[in-house]
């Protein structure tokens, strides 16, 4: 089954306010080296840590709507047709 993407946000360190507005984000931290870490509440009820370069994706998978955390490589594989602004072009 193909995953349908509703929105996707890449953590780049400059979009902290946009990331914090997502309903799945519970906290954002910045290390003393300047690295950004966000804690995300995912579809399976578990919390995941998102690092710079990762994607926070909301979509349908197997008839359920939820939030997913993908690395950049996973995002490219699964969502190759997805526009990076968060709007899917079908």
**pLDDT single digits (tens) 33-86:** 888 889 999 888 889 999 999 999 888 766 678 898 989 888 888 766 554 444
Is the residue at 63 inside a domain? yes
Mean pLDDT of 28-33: 89
Is the residue at 83 inside a domain? no
Is the residue at 30 inside a domain? yes
* Number of domains making up the chain: 1
- CA pair distance 29, 74, nearest whole angstrom: 24
Is the residue at 49 inside a domain? yes
pLDDT at 60: 79
- CA pair distance 59, 47, nearest whole angstrom: 17
Is the residue at 85 inside a domain? no
Is the pTM here over 0.75, yes or no?
yes
Is the model more confident about 3 or about 24? 24
Instruction: Say which DSSP state 68 is in.
Output: E
Residue 40's domain comprises 4-78
Q: Is the pLDDT of residue 87 over 50?
A: no
């Amino acid at each position: 089954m193909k995953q349908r993407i509703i929105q996707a946000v890449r953590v780049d360190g400059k979009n902290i306010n946009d990331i914090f507005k997502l309903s799945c984000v519970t906290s954002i931290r910045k290390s003393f080296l300047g690295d950004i870490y966000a804690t995300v509440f995912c579809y399976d009820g578990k919390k995941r840590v998102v690092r710079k370069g990762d994607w926070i994706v909301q979509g349908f998978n197997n008839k359920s709507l939820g939030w997913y955390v993908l690395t950049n490589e996973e995002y490219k594989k699964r969502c190759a047709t997805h526009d990076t602004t968060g709007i899917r072009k079908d």
